[in-house]
Amino acid sequence: MTKPTAAEPWLDRVRHSVRGAVPALKRAWPLGLPALLVVILLVPAALLVAPGFLGPESPPPAPPALEWQQVPATLSPARGLAPLDVSAGIPLASGITAQVEPVLKADGGGNFTGLVQDALTGAVLFDRGGSEGRVPASNMKLLTAVAALRSLGPERRFTTTVVQGPAAGQVVLVGGGDALLGAGESNADAAMGHAGLATLATRTVEALKAAGTTGELKVLVDDSLFTGPALNPAWESGDVAAGEVAPVYPLALNSARFDPAVTTGPRPQDSAITAAAEFASRLRTAGAAAGLTVSAAVERSPRPATVEAADMAVLAAAESATVAEQVDLMLQASDNYLAEVLGRMASLAEGGPGSNDGATAAVRAQLAGAGIDVDGATLVDVCGLAMGNRVSARQFTEVVRAIAAGTDSRLRAALDGFPVGGLTGTLDTRYGEDSTARGAGLVRAKTGTLNTVLALSGYVVDADGRLLVFSFIGNGLTPGAAGNKVALDRAATALAACGCR
């Protein structure tokens, strides 16, 4: 038998103690369980309540700022684009031709004509059928921009007025050429909606209230500023149905769009009545507290509401964005409706009629006044939607040259309107592929697109710092052929990347 060790008596005592404690725990368990549960519940509750007494924990210390995150001790000097170097050499015509000729190819049917000039000297650097009259599509808007800026001036604004009607209880909304009216409050920082019908309605109510007018009002609209057909017969019915343009009036909401954010699809077919109906709605809201009610029906005024008439006092007025701002919007968005309105306003400014014929005559006259040879050009509209227009690439380069480098400083206002390759306007989604990426941010040009027509006219600064103007026009093209826009963009990119001396 093994002899017990010295530790065994101690172990016996531990076993004896454990055996004695177990019955005691069993007897105490029913009383201790509730207390244990209370403790379990109170601990998390205390953790939730404690921050209310103790306050939130202090946030951990922020890591030290990296050097590039430090607040600068001094500001960098303001920098802008460096002026063009007039000593930059003119590229060789042979070098430009070698770069442009291989890439300016039609994808399928049709062909491209084109012309490139040095902006300062007018030297022709590339010429492929540059004097041939072509369907220009929306490049036509460049001509309209020149006419509007010359005849109206960059700072001119158009006024929409409200006058007393020919009978008691009538007010007349008078169109003054603003096609960019907004439905809400006037927005001084925007071209679209610069003048708002809600603001005009509030001012009208204030004037009526001051005159003690109460009772029911009826809104009439005077759109007599424009004459002749509201819809150009040269426009394809399919283009009108698709919302490319609409009947033209001297006032419109959102450039004759139901929603300024939706620039495709059907348009209001009577923008004057549409604007008047919206004004009546805003007048109804504004006049409720002044005891005025407004009839839901709107009508055309039976006679022009000339503001000089003694019985038709002006109640309120709102001014549009400047002509320069409207020209920029027209070029960036290629807005057909706005172009047609500006063309008619250019005609009126020179004493002509506010009609399509007046607009085309005014554009032709203003181009001639700017020293641009318009012989051989045919103008059927001023937005470029009509297939009957004929303008040469040479005429377009001369227009761009007059805007970018001519002596008439009024035309400089159009420069901001040229879309920038890969960034803005109708060029925002182009110049993204490898063959055109070098033109992104450098090519500034007006686009033109019809079913079988593509055009691009604008300007670039080449690799040597020389300002070049260009126009490329494709006619008879295969509809939808993907390579045609790319051909235009590659040709313009070749100019931007060229150091062709």
List active site positions: 138, 141, 334
| Nearest by Cα to 427 from 399, 404, 456, 398 | 456
Q: What are the backbone dihedrals phi and psi of residue 392, each rounded to the nearest 5 degrees, phi first?
A: -90, 160
Q: How far is CA 285 from the centre of its chain?
A: 30
CB atoms under 10 Å from CB of 82, counted, come to 7
Nearest alpha carbon to residue 90 among 489, 461, 352: 461
Spatial distance between the Cα atoms of 47 and 148, rounded to a whole number of angstroms: 74
Exposed, middle or buried: residue 10 (CB in 10 Å: 0-12, 13-18, 19+)? exposed
Q: Which residue's structure tokens are 């020149």?
A: 146
3-state secondary structure of 392: coil
Q: Could you tell me which residues are beta bridge partners of residue 469?
A: 117, 459
- What are the structure tokens assigned to 351, written together? 């004493």
Q: How many Cα atoms within 13 Å fall on the side-chain side of residue 345?
A: 32
Give the helix/strand (H/E) hosting 171. strand 170-174
Q: Which residues of 391-419 are buried (b: 16+ CB within 10 A; e: fewer)?
A: bbbbbbbbbbbbbbbbeeebbebbeebbb
CB-based burial, 235-258: b 16+ in 10 Å, e otherwise: beeebbeebbbbbbbbbbbbbbbe
Give the angle 58-63-64 at the CA atoms, nearest 5°: 130
Q: Is 158 within 8 Å of 174 (Cβ atoms)?
A: no
Contact indicator for 177, 320 with CB cutoff of 8 Å:
yes
The answer to whether 252 and 275 are in contact (CB under 8 A) is yes
